[in-house]
Amino acid sequence: MIRFALHLVIPWDSEAKEMQQAYAYFLCRLFHSVQYSEEQSEYPSTSLPGNCCIWPMQGTQTPEHCQAMRRILFHTSTLLRNCLFILCLFPLNPVQARTRIPTSDSVSDLPQIGGQKVVVLRRKHSTDGTRPEFLSVTLLPGRGMNVFQITAYLPGKGEVPLLVSPSLQDAAPLLNATSSDKDINESFMMGGAFLFPFANRILGPATADGKHILATWHGHIVRLRANWHGSVPQALHGQMLTAKATTVWVRHSDTNDIATATYLLPAKEQWFSENKVKIQVTLKAETISITLVATNTGKYDEPVGIGWHPYFRLPSGNRANARLHVPAQMRTAVNNPTDMFPTGKLLPVQGTPYDFTAAGGSLLTGTVNDAFLHLQRTAQGHTLCSITDIGANYGLQIAALTPLVRTILVYSPADQPLVVLEPQFNNGDPFGSAWEGQDNGMVIVQPRGSVTWKTRLELFQPDRVQPIPKP
């Protein structure tokens, strides 16, 4: 049968006979067992099962040449057969087969968000109950890998959510709609949305219908959807808000759970080049590591800004118990508290209510909605920020592990127990005239080049301080 199949592919003539013999042996060795030892002078044709026998090689080759060729075929076929066996161990649909879900949920309980299945990484509580540890991460591949929820075990409180998000069932109808600007913006109203290829806002001339912003960089113009309408139309937070993953992989081991999603973002005159974005989230007991790698897959240089927009919840429910640490020397001046358009002027924070450089964190007074710059870094180039809730003996360190992160944006309304802390590359409105002659934080990526943004979350217990009673 093998000879007949080969005859259909390779003509049966004297010049092709040697090729047919080689491939026949190759196929027989791939699907059958042939005993062979390096000491044998040739492969035994009589040991092949059934009617699959191989005649000696013919032609001008020397016996040594034939022996070497057969040895190559033997090892190649063995390698391929082993590869096929390994591939059979992995299903073709890695998302469905490898996704692990909470023990309290079943597959049918997890809705699809953005047309793709929700991914939940979950691990069992492993300590003696005296130390905090992360337990789960919920991710939305159909909404740009939004980190929808993180839960942790806190001593004395059990498992608590750390991000401000509704239930998946309540969020599904909000996040499955994408037609209006409001629908798009729901992505950065909950959980933790990834911001790419720019963070914050971009201003510029609007089209006649007000639906797009014209952004200019080095003489090139792109049309950005104006998904935010304040006093003027604005493009806000980039292209990832409704992006759907092209591939998703989930892996589990005894030490960590890892989810990886890949996104292909065409330019379509909406950015300066095409991009491939890979996001990886790693869950461990002590840490959650998040890495975003963006690769320019287009033909042109491009400016890139990357950020993350997480709504961190205060477990005590009382904002008066919050302490914030941001090691920054400056903050960005804005035109007014409503528009929040940067003026290009930087204001020192030392001695002001915006000074959060104290090691243990400083009290949040009033609403904070500011971008902090001139960051202090460790010897490794890391910027270490923290949110502390003394009412819950809870602390969370947010470590920006990429030196390219030059801005920490903080939003914390006075009347809500939450802190949004965003490590990001670029300033607000990076192409605006306010930053002319200054570093706007955007990173130039050449074709086939890549840039990495990485952040690590780590739990800690602050020194016990008398909590402030909730009013």
What pLDDT, in 10s, does the model give residues 130-158?
A: 899 999 999 999 999 999 999 999 999 99
Q: Residue 362's CB: how many other CB atoms inside 10 A?
A: 18
The 8 Å CB, 24+ separation contacts for 378-385 are 383/327, 383/408, 383/423, 384/325, 384/327, 385/324, 385/325, 385/326, 385/327, 385/421, 385/423
Tell me the pLDDT tens digit for each residue of 350-362: 999 999 999 889 9
Q: Rounded to whole angstroms, how far apart are CA atoms 205 and 212?
A: 9
- Residues 23 and 112 both lie in one domain: no
List of residues 6+ apart from 8 with CB closer than 8 A = none
> Considering the domain boundaries, does residue 134 fall inside one?
yes
Asked if residue 468 is part of any domain, the answer here is: no
123: confidence class by pLDDT, cuts 50, 70, 90: very high
Angle at 341 between CA 305 and CA 235, to 5 degrees: 50
Is residue 391, in this structure, part of any structural domain at all? yes
Q: How far is CA 393 from CA 2, 115, 299, 422, 458, in A?
A: 72, 39, 51, 23, 14
120: Cα separation from own chain's centroid: 14
Confidence (pLDDT) at 11: 42
Same domain, 427 and 305: yes
Domain limits for position 310: 95-460
Mind listing the pLDDT tens digit for each residue in 11-67? Answer: 434 344 444 454 454 444 444 444 433 333 333 333 333 334 333 444 445 555 556
Q: Above pLDDT 90, what percent of the chain?
A: 69
Over the stretch 160-204, which tens digit does the pLDDT of each residue have?
A: 999 999 999 999 999 998 889 888 999 999 999 999 999 999 999
Residue where the block lists tokens 């792109």: 222
User: Taking 60 as the threshold, does the pLDDT of residue 391 lie above it?
Assistant: yes
Give domain status of residue 470, yes or no. no
pLDDT for the residue 237? 96
Say how many C-beta atoms besides its own lie within 10 A of residue 359's C-beta. Answer: 9
Which residues does residue 372 pair with via DSSP β-bridges, in sequence order? 331, 408
On whether both 102 and 62 belong to a single domain, the answer is: no
Query: What phi and psi, each to the nearest 5 degrees, are found at residue 170?
Result: -75, -30
Q: Judge whether 366 lies within some domain.
A: yes
Q: Same domain for 350 and 270?
A: yes
Per-residue model confidence (pLDDT) at position 74: 62
pLDDT in tens, 289-315: 999 999 999 999 999 999 999 999 999
Domain shared by 225 and 311, yes or no: yes
467 belongs to a structural domain: no
pLDDT classification of 84: cutoffs 50, 70, 90: low
Q: What is the DSSP string of 173-192?
A: HHHS--SSHHHHHGGGGSSE
Q: Which two tokens stand for residue 226?
A: 């104006």
Last residue of a domain, one of 22, 53, 88: 88
pLDDT in tens, 56-75: 444 445 555 556 556 655 66
Is the domain of 13 the same as that of 112? no
Number of structural domains the chain divides into: 2
| CATH number of the domain to which 396 belongs | 2.70.98.10
From 33, 63, 88, the end of a domain falls on 88
- Compute the half-sphere exposure of residue 138: CA atoms within 13 Å on the CB side of its CA: 25
165 shares a domain with 16 = no
Q: Is residue 471 part of a domain?
A: no
| Token representation of residue 445 | 């990526």
Do 182 and 201 sit in the same domain of this protein? yes
Q: What is the pLDDT of residue 213?
A: 95
Q: Cα–Cα distance between 392 and 152 in angstroms, integer?
A: 13
Q: Does 260 lie in the same domain as 313?
A: yes
Are residue 39 and residue 104 in the same domain, yes or no?
no
The pLDDT of residue 164: 98
CB 168 within 8 A of CB 190: no
Angle between helices 17-31 and 2-9 (to 10 degrees): 130
Is 70 exceeded by the pLDDT of residue 1? no
Same domain, 78 and 155: no
Beta bridge partners of 265: 275
Residues 203 and 329 in one domain: yes
33, 57, 88: which is the final residue of a domain?
88
pLDDT over 70 percentage in the chain:
75
Asked whether residue 183 is domain-assigned, the answer is yes
Mean pLDDT of the chain: 83
Instruction: Give phi and psi for 46, each to the nearest 5.
Output: -75, -10
